[in-house]
Structure 1
């Protein structure tokens, strides 16, 4: 949104918000089993944030492990630089 304020066409409706929360709920393994049950939007958003943090930590751990393995491999300088650049993206 721009700094000019929002118009009624920019606002999300309650129905759209509920549909988005439901979609997020189906993505969460721990809440997915409760598809037919009602879970509060606050709980879904908190769980989504926690899930994203866990995934980010997992990616960081895997990147570190890969980096350590690459450091132990005998790659030419050019190959190692390409791989490092890809990892930083």
Structure 2
């Protein structure tokens, strides 16, 4: 975050802080290292890319969940318990 603190006590962010956060968000997206992180890329485009990436991740989770539900009936009880434990840890 920018070295400047929030200007008011009402938790508003300065424009510099928003820009810093958007650039940090862009750096978390896949292939961001190949892209030039600059102010030329609009914040709205970065936010759109982020939303698309999150949707993609949700779809992957759904697909993997479906595959797991198909495999679980053929797996022994100890393995099923282990998988449930691991999944519950991931959800925390």
TM over 0.5: yes
Question: TM-score when scaled to structure 2?
Answer: 0.68
Alignment root-mean-square deviation, CA? 2.5
Which of 47, 50, 57 is the matching residue for 1:48? 50
Q: In the superposition, relative to structure 1, how do residues 74 and 81 fare at CA in structure 2: closer, same or farther (>3 Å)?
A: closer
Unaligned runs of 5+ in 2: 1-6
Judging by fraction of residues, say which structure has more helix.
1
- Aligned to 2:77, the other structure's residue is in SS state coil
Q: Deviations over 1:16-40 (max 9, x none)?
A: 0000000111112244422344210
- Paired residues in the alignment total 81
Q: In the superposition, relative to structure 1, how do residues 86 and 36 fare at CA in structure 2: closer, same or farther (>3 Å)?
A: closer
Q: Which moved more, 1:27-36 or 1:10-19?
A: 27-36
Q: Which runs of 4+ in 1 moved over 4 A?
A: 79-89
Q: In the superposition, relative to structure 1, how do residues 66 and 82 fare at CA in structure 2: closer, same or farther (>3 Å)?
A: same
Aligned pairs for 1:54-65 within 5 A: 54-65=56-67
Q: CA deviation at 1:83?
A: 4.5
Aligned to 2:28: 27
Unaligned runs of 5+ in 1: 1-6
Q: CA deviation at 1:15?
A: 0.6
| Partners of 2:24 and 2:36 in 1: CA distance | 10
